[in-house]
Structure 1
Amino acid sequence: MKKIGFFSALILPILLIWGYYLGGAGHWFIHLFVFGLVPLMDFILSTDKRNVPKGEISEQTKAFFYRFVTYFWVYVQLGVLGWAFYIVAMADLSWIEWISLTTGTALVTGGIGITVAHELGHKNTKIEQFYAKVLLMTVCYMHFIIEHNRGHHVRVATPDDPATSRFGETFYSFWYRSVTGGYTSAWEIEKDRLTKKGISVWSMKNEMVWFALLPIFFISLVTLLLSQMQGYFVWQVPVFFLVQSVLGFSLLEMVNYLEHYGMERKKLPSGFYERVTPLHSWNASHIVSNFLLFQLQRHSDHHASAHKRYQVLDHVEESPQLPAGYSAMILVALIPPLWFNLMNPRLQSWKEKTFSESV
């Protein structure tokens, strides 16, 4: 039955499309589900702290079913995005309908799509790397596959990592620092890779060049096709694409904000930082939201063992624990005083308990 739970992500595109055609309050079904029903179900059902038994990890890791779910999502997302482009181009949307459709699409592409891209981007098969890039292209955030894997995972919980939120930092200031710093970092990482091979940074072998061009090619082709169908330039399509992209990757940055708030690694006398452990990420094992997010919330184990597939990630009790799943915590983080009042005492209490016991 747990296998079927990972298909629950499909509820989002169903609610988006069904709600649109239903009209009225239906336009907000996906929003109410993500930010209302999911937190409520998380609260009622609480957490699932069970881990896959060690003797079953190898078999679970190799099971094709779990990869199939992520592969299938790629085609679902492309289908949903194609449908949304068609609606934006063909329908006479009111402002309320436009806002609900754009934000609802971002919950699909950013809320679930980037999560799947994150999972696939950590794997070394060509098909998974390709699928990850396709998903990231749909939110104009393809550089994430470079910065996250070769930047964030190396520098997490240090001042050098733009994707680690600092103690006392609001989401809004973090968003700007992470978005700009992450993009700059990806360029530097790719530049270093090419320099070591004696290749010019402006070569077409520079992935960052392709990552900048591909979303433009993609939306240009879509806009051209729909403009021909309509007989005039449908400017609404590229505007919709850009806005849902910004909202989509902002959801990613919100999750980054939750996952590492106030986490710090000690700097050793050698000048290097201590190795990454499950103590350097916030953990959440809430049942419903973990199904939706392919166990991304078991983030402590992910950073300790980035190669592990989502279905075998462990709950780590020693890690700092979020009081709720991501859906609820996102709403809290949008209100800085509420976030600080909830999280700062929790962070301080966890540090005192954890590090006093280790002395």
Structure 2
Amino acid sequence: TFEAHGVEHFLRALEERPQGSPLLTVSNHVAALDDPLLPSTLVPLDRLLTAGRMRWTLCAEENCFRTAFTQCFFAAGKVVPVRRGEGADQAGMREMRDRLREGEWVHIFPEGTRSRDGGATLRRAKRGVGWLAGEAAKGAAADPVIVPFVHDGMQNIQPRGKAPRTGQTVRVLVGEPVEIGDLLAARRAQRGVASATALASAQMDGSSAVADAALHDAIARRCDRALRVLHARLQTGGEATAGASRWADGAYADIASDAFAPANSSDDHKWAVPWVGSALTGPVWAQTLRECMASLEPQPPFAASVALPQAASVRRASALELLFGAGSATLAQRPLEPPLGVSFSAGVIL
């Protein structure tokens, strides 16, 4: 039995988004059958019967593309292979980016793997989801629409390492689209400033790579929080919005200090972004950063985080906002978010 709530958010994005706008759906991952079973329960019947209108997705090459038969089987289902450990910028991810740029629908699991505890907790969202959305936006007719949803019960239908079961209930909760328009606009503005100041080629290349990585991180963190809020709501019956938001903020606080810490050499997804300094990033960026920092002051409980205080509405500034100098009026209009701010540690910007 499937119980779905908030499906209107998904259907609105699926059928009413601007022409050419990419659709990226993201969800938690608890069982091998999450896809295609879950997406197929959310879409209208006519889409199920029209392969060209269904979603694209990814699967680890070692799991889904080991033999000629499985290669043909999954390719026919619009599944693209991805290699673990090769980061976001690889062939399978670039294929998904191109599909998004063409205005198609792509579904991914930002955690990057199945849950190890039956879906009781969420693993942090990997940078790949931010890379997909950020890179797709560069060549798409409109900004990507990201719709999050969480589910519970698939782990009972197909327990890890066991045969599928029947007579189980699966609950699905779909959330409103994740807002990333401000992040994309800030990044475009920064590109314009760099171009207008005619920075040297090496400087522009270096600053662009760092700024793009900051954008990808910021998008991934927003997706992460959206999934955590939905997950908490699902655990509390799907209606306790305020309580779920507080729970998600607390859960995020628990992981914020270490989950986004500087990456080591074994971190395949390289969450940390190397800070190459003003010599490479150029005087405009360095000056913008200094001006932003001058207006900020630390706020507990994160001694390493910086936040921008407002008279009526306090909101922690994202990495992109600090780097690109988003106006305080714009910041004041957006709702309170968990501490997704910029941390400076061991020469690393998070």
Instruction: Please give the TM-score of this superposition, normalised by the length of structure 1.
Output: 0.27
